[in-house]
Structure 1
Amino acid sequence: MASNYELLSEQGLRLDGRRPHELRHIKCKLGVFEQPDGSAYMEQGNTKVLAAVYGPHQAKGKKTESNDLIINCQYSQATFSTAERKNRPRGDRKSLEFKMYLQQALSAAIKSELYPRSQIDIYVEVLQADGANYAVALNAATLALIDAGICLNELIVACTASLSKSNIPLTDISHFEEVSGGPKLTVAALPTAEKIAFLEMSERFHIDHLETVIETAMAGCREIRDILEAAVKEHLLHMGSAADWARVC
């Protein structure tokens, strides 16, 4: 589907005032709940997400027959998260897809060999949806895993990208840009290792633009990684000790 609107002004600015490669404002906090083993809250623009982690704990039932780590993800959107959401039940097809995508990406980040015959439960709730919902959910889940002390290969983060009508790549797509613009690309990556754990396109990009759009999303992932690392360091300083914290191993 072609773009219905030009997403850049004559001055080269997007509708919310951002430049093409500029992220939305990010605000995040670790340890927002006491009951889970780890938790985090994240805002990226007007998209707001809570994540909670329980575990690792012993897997029960038939799951114990394997030495593998079980990563159980649950993704949901609050009924008030968008105007359209109230007409869709929880557990709809898109939520089930995002659940699988979260499991796929987080499996690439967690050092599963350290947790044989164990299970980690990750719950993500989108409180307000305004674009890049899966990406923000994954970023919040990463922080919650760190808060729970889960050992990671490295931080896994996600970012979206698209193209304007003039074929200028755009980073971190808002909801209006998603519905008004062209195809959207979502990348979940291990930025330090330069590895892509998950990639999804809403529509196909022309081959001439695909590499540029992927690199745009990867650049966004690197920026988000730096922001998350700063949030972790700030929380460590606030807590006063890193003894019980996760580490990148």
Structure 2
Amino acid sequence: MAAPELLSDEGYRADGRRPAELRKVRARMGVFAQADGSAYIEQGNTKALAVVYGPHEYSMATFSTGERRRRPHGDRQAGELALHLKQTFEAAILTRLYPRSQIDIYVQILQADGGNYCACVNAATLAVMDAGIPMRDYVCACSAGLAEDTPLADLSSPEEAAGGPRLVLALLPASGQIALLQLSARLHQERLEAALEAAGQACRALHAVLDRVVRDRLREVTALLGD
């Protein structure tokens, strides 16, 4: 990644953000009454929808995840996304509370502009909480890259396409436990630490945003029950 392509002389990115700045996040919960839990999120121009069914009686797997849309056989990217989501939420959901039960999480990217996996994780976190399923912590996910030695948080699609090293982190913020860490290329330890720190700070900033969404939803539900 050549820094001049990603950062201006004043230190701004092409979309006007500072290196550590998140894209604008909008989210809401309870978007589908027929699901046990659901949520919609926008991170910049990336838009994701998640729905949760369960816990219900065990059928094929103790925990399953995938995309709601039908996908062609051999769609490797969708398969990898499903596997990563499964690993991520197995680390966060208190599955021992539901023996012989199944939880289904379905996600769909409605519009892609970078950070697709991260948007899916953040939407799924809100949907799982909307379903009332106990978790160890929020799961917050964000990407990071490098413009030469300057770490960039929450990469947009043009930044991802620039071809430099990219890191994706799913974090449980309270404990600092890493649910998933993925690298697109090898990095020297110092550069890895810088990118990881940028992604971690972004995850903690996302946690504050998601927590506000959950609290707003709780107030909304409490008000409805009080009427």
**TM-score (norm: length of structure 1):** 0.85
Question: CA 1:90/1:235 → structure 2, altered by over 3 Å: closer, same or farther?
Answer: farther
C-alpha distance in structure 2 between counterparts of 1:232 and 1:24, whole Å: 19
Q: Give the letter aligned to residue 151 of structure 2.
A: P
Please say if 1:7 is aligned against 2:6.
yes
The sequence identity of aligned pairs, in percent, is 48
Q: 1:236 aligns with which of 202, 205, 218?
A: 218
Q: Give the letter aligned to residue 74 of structure 1.
A: G
Q: Give the letter aligned to residue 86 of structure 2.
A: Q
Equivalences, count: 225
Question: CA 1:91/1:157 → structure 2, altered by over 3 Å: closer, same or farther?
Answer: farther
Match of 1:47 in 2: 46
Q: 2:75 aligns with which of 87, 92, 97?
A: 92
Match of 1:72 in 2: 64
Match of 1:101 in 2: 84
Q: 1:214 aligns with which of 176, 181, 196?
A: 196
Deviations 1:149-170 (A, max 9, x none): 10000101101000003x1000
**Within 5 Å, which residues of 2 pair with 1:149-168?**
149-165=132-148, 167-168=149-150
Question: CA 1:4/1:18 → structure 2, altered by over 3 Å: closer, same or farther?
Answer: closer
**Within 5 Å, which residues of 2 pair with 1:94-243?**
94-165=77-148, 167-240=149-222
Equivalent residues of 2:3, 2:147 under 8 A apart: no
**TM-score (norm: length of structure 2):** 0.94
Which secondary structure does the structure 1 equivalent of 2:107 belong to? strand
C-alpha distance in structure 1 between counterparts of 2:3 and 2:146, whole Å: 12
Equivalent residues of 2:154, 2:202 under 8 A apart: yes
Give structure 2 stretches of 5+ with no counterpart.
Answer: none
C-alpha distance in structure 1 between counterparts of 2:80 and 2:17, whole Å: 30
Match of 2:33 in 1: 34
Deviations 1:26-57 (A, max 9, x none): 00000000111000000000000000000000
Equivalent residues of 1:7, 1:181 under 8 A apart: no
C-alpha distance in structure 2 between counterparts of 1:203 and 1:43, whole Å: 27
CA displacement at 1:191 relative to structure 2: 1.0
